[in-house]
Amino acid sequence: MKNIFFGLILVTLASCGGKGRVAEWRTPQEMPPNISYEKVWEAIVNTALENYEIDVIEPQAGYFQSKWKTGSMIWQQFPVGISPYKKTRLSVRVLDKNPVKYNVKVETYTAESLSQNVYFTKMRPSGNDSYQELQFIRRINDKLREAENATN
């Protein structure tokens, strides 16, 4: 019985000291066949530029990656501390151009510890930001719908 209890404690402690969660590509979004790659790519880039700065963009390969975007800790609507407590990066890759299929990934890192002078000293991967991913996909779909309505 002691060995089982000791084993459970050991497994629990080992899981606490992990390196964080790695962000993964989300389920591909498939567009209707009547929407061209150029229209989808334009919607992807324009939507990304609403909230992110470009780091890597390869239109022919269908790949976009933003620069890291940082956020400060907020307490009662006021920023606390000088350094960021969270950073995110958006990546989009096109898997197929006819019909268009693409994946989205918003990687998130969060601060792990503070130093004595209130600077965050270490960032830890914390997986995907599902909310931002869904908002991004919805915004792309809205832009494509608006473009389609404007042509009709």
What is the pTM assigned to this prediction? Answer: 0.75
Rounded to an integer, what distance in angstroms lies between the CA atom of residue 6 and that of residue 12? 10
Indicate the residue type of 144.
L
Tell me whether residue 15 is in a domain. no
Burial 39-75 (b: 16+ CB within 10 A, else e): bbbbbbeebbeeebeeeebeeeebebbbeebeeebee
Considering Cα of 22, then 64, then 49, then 142, what sign does the dihedral take?
Answer: negative
111 or 57, which is more confident: 57
Residue 121 lies in a domain: yes
Specify the residue for token string 């497994």.
11
Residue 38 structural domain: 21-151
Overall number of domains in the chain: 1
Residues 11-41: pLDDT tens digits? Answer: 444 444 456 788 999 878 899 888 999 999 9
Q: Give tens-digit pLDDT for 86-138.
A: 889 999 999 999 999 999 999 998 877 655 555 556 778 999 999 999 999 99
d(CA 94, CA 30): 10
Q: Apex CA 92: angle with CA 90 and CA 94, to 5°?
A: 180
- Does some domain include residue 133? yes
1 domain-assigned = no
